[in-house]
């Protein structure tokens, strides 16, 4: 092994790991705030005076399944993140730190990563975590038979080998500056190879991880029950005895549940209720702007959306400011680009007001002055998206586009939009990104399974490859800004707004901190001050 090929030791203490992440282009973004932003809370690190108890949580949506390699849904992540761990994890400041990997070595050319696993970690069934489980997990993610919508996240992986029980070596086709952030994502949680095989590769309704809480029960559309992992690898954690999650898709019901004490905590606190929740002395809020984007996705394989003039007309008629009231009640930021103001890869682009006259001209130029009929598909369980679909329906009438609303629950949305791709217009969103590549590559690279709009631009493909390979953050920012400029020309997505996100909880819920990816991973440090 030459000096150039020899892996260099990755830094293991928190300060050094964070610094290394920033150097690789994963610096902490400054998230732009909406007009009604709340202060982001500090990381609470108090030792509980009363460990124990069950945290009752109101979820906005049913996860539909528990296997994030088969489906890529935020609702799945909000359950399995308590059951599983990845090699890395995202902190509240959006830095990357070691999780199941206690550290890593990176070769001088950036194409080889050697991960050393923590010693003594076990799955919930008592079997030890081994490097072979990591190898199995990542090979399963990219296997064609898995048909994972997230397979592109490890597109740079060439080989993965377990050199002993605690050492994994991943070889890349080319340097990947986003890798450490990618490995913190839901699709890269580490499975037990033996458990998955014992369940005939179907872990959609069962789970066996290394996380702070063990899976007990999942009743679809009703509840999820988790209990404390007494053998969790982070000493002293978790503080809670368990978590009981109930599905509370209706905004009114979810607010009522936390106000009355039926639950202790709700995710996606309804934005229309934020002033009332903030004024309630029995409650407290956490949250602010998040790493998300809400947008219109146009199916480019369906006429007339394959016509750029039609896409330009729709973009010209969209009134983002008019959407903010009925969708996020002012708790958000309108945007035409992918990333919020202040994010290190954001493209500065003034949000243009609607131009109905120009939109009508474009429709006429496309030969569609009389308009056409279509369907808008969106999530019934996310009011900030379904309400945006309603507003869009009305705005499209100004250019003679009559759109029928198709508001569906999670499983149907996934089937129609992300798997079957049988939709025409989708009002949807993406969230939980840390590195720009984790948002851009799966959604816009030609042929990727996550590219549900069927977009293809060789120039964008080339830039995606450049952005992955570069470790210079300034250069990467310029690359991703160039990609966004091309997307603004091609308009496979018409971006609408970045939505703030809040969690509401009883005042005796302690230790919780909001993470801008929308993660509730801080439940492992949460405790109940109930004497």
Locate the DSSP E strands across 110-202. 112-117, 157-164, 167-172
Cα–Cα distance, 304 to 197 (Å, whole number): 45
Strands 242-247 and 101-106: unpaired
Over residues 122-138, the pLDDT tens digits come to 999 999 999 999 999 99
User: What is the mean predicted confidence (pLDDT) over 374-388?
Assistant: 95
Superfamily designation of domain 290-500: Dipeptide-binding Protein; Domain 3 (3.10.105.10)
Residue 289 confidence class, pLDDT cut points 50, 70, 90: confident
The kind and range of the H/E element at 444 are helix 436-444
Over residues 406-458, the pLDDT tens digits come to 999 988 999 999 999 999 999 999 988 899 999 999 999 999 988 999 999 99
Start and end residues for every CATH 3.40.190.10 domain found in the chain? 49-83+211-287+501-530
Start and end residues for every CATH 3.90.76.10 domain found in the chain? 90-193
Arch. (CATH architecture) of 49-83+211-287+501-530: 3-Layer(aba) Sandwich (3.40)
DSSP state of 416: I
Place of tokens 């050697």: 114
* CA nearest neighbour of 203 among 333, 311, 25, 80: 80
Place of tokens 């001088």: 108
* CA nearest neighbour of 174 among 158, 196, 197: 158
Over residues 64-106, the pLDDT tens digits come to 999 999 988 889 999 999 999 999 999 988 899 999 999 999 9
Query: What pLDDT sits at residue 46?
Result: 59
Locate the DSSP E strands across 380-529. 401-408, 425-431, 493-506, 509-510, 527-528
DSSP state of 441: H
- What's the number of CA atoms in the CB half-sphere (13 Å) around residue 219? 7
Contact between 189 and 207 under an 8 Å Cβ cutoff? The reply is no
Cα–Cα distance, 189 to 195 (Å, whole number): 14
Token pair in block for residue 416 = 């129609």
For 90-193, the fitting CATH number among 3.40.50.300, 3.40.50.620, 3.90.76.10, 3.30.360.10 is 3.90.76.10
Contact between 486 and 445 under an 8 Å Cβ cutoff? The reply is no
Mean pLDDT of the chain: 90
Over residues 314-333, the pLDDT tens digits come to 999 999 999 999 999 999 99
| 211 backbone dihedrals φ, ψ, rounded to 5° | -75, 180
Numbers of helices and strands, H then E, in the chain: 15, 21
Start and end residues for every CATH 3.10.105.10 domain found in the chain? 290-500
């Amino acid at each position: 092994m030459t000096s150039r090929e020899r892996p260099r030791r990755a830094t293991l203490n928190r300060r050094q790991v964070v610094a290394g992440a920033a150097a690789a282009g994963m610096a902490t973004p400054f998230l732009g705030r909406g007009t009604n932003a709340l202060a982001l809370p500090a990381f609470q690190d108090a030792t509980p005076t009363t460990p124990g108890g069950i945290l009752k949580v109101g979820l906005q949506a049913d996860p539909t399944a528990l296997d994030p390699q088969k489906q890529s849904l935020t609702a799945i992540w909000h359950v399995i993140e308590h059951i599983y761990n990845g090699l890395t994890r995202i902190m509240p400041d959006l830095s990357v730190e070691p999780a199941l990997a206690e550290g890593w070595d990176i070769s001088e050319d950036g194409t080889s990563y050697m991960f050393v696993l923590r010693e003594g970690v076990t799955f919930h069934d008592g079997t030890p975590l081994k490097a072979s489980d990591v190898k199995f997990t990542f090979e399963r993610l990219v296997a064609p038979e898995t048909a994972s919508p997230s397979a592109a996240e490890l597109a740079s992986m060439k080989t993965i080998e377990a050199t002993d029980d605690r050492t994994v070596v991943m070889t890349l086709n080319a340097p990947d500056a986003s890798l450490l952030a990618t490995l913190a994502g839901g699709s890269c949680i580490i499975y037990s190879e033996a458990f998955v095989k014992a369940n005939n590769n179907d872990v959609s309704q069962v789970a066996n991880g290394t996380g702070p809480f063990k899976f007990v029960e999942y009743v679809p559309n009703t509840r999820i029950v988790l209990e404390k992992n007494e053998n969790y690898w982070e000493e002293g954690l978790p503080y809670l005895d368990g978590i009981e999650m109930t599905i509370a898709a209706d905004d009114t019901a979810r607010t009522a549940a936390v106000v009355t004490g039926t639950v202790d905590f709700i995710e996606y606190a309804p934005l229309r209720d934020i002033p009332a929740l903030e004024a309630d002395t029995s409650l407290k809020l956490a949250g602010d702007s998040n790493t998300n984007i809400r947008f219109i996705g146009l199916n480019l394989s369906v006429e007339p959306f394959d016509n750029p003039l039609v896409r330009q007309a729709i973009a010209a008629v969209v009134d983002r400011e008019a959407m903010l009231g009925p969708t996020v009640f002012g708790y958000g930021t309108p945007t035409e680009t992918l990333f919020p103001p202040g994010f290190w890869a954001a493209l500065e682009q003034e949000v243009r007001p609607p131009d109905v006259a120009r939109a009508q001209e474009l429709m006429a130029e496309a030969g569609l002055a009389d308009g056409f009929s279509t369907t808008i598909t969106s999530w019934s369980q996310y009011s900030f998206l379904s309400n945006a679909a309603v507003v869009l329906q009305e705005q499209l009438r100004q250019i003679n586009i009559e759109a029928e609303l198709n508001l569906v629950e999670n499983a149907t949305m996934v089937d129609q939009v992300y798997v079957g791709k049988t939709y025409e217009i989708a009002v949807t969103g993406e969230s939980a990104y840390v590195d720009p590549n984790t948002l851009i590559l799966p959604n816009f690279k030609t042929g990727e399974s996550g590219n549900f709009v069927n977009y293809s631009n060789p120039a964008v493909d080339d830039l995606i490859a450049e952005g992955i390979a570069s470790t210079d953050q300034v250069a990467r920012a310029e690359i991703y800004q160039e990609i966004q400029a091309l997307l603004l020309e091609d308009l496979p997505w018409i971006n609408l707004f970045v939505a703030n996100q809040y969690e509401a909880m009883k005042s005796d819920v302690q230790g919780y901190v909001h993470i801008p990816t929308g993660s509730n991973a801080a439940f492992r440090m949460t405790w109940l001050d109930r004497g």
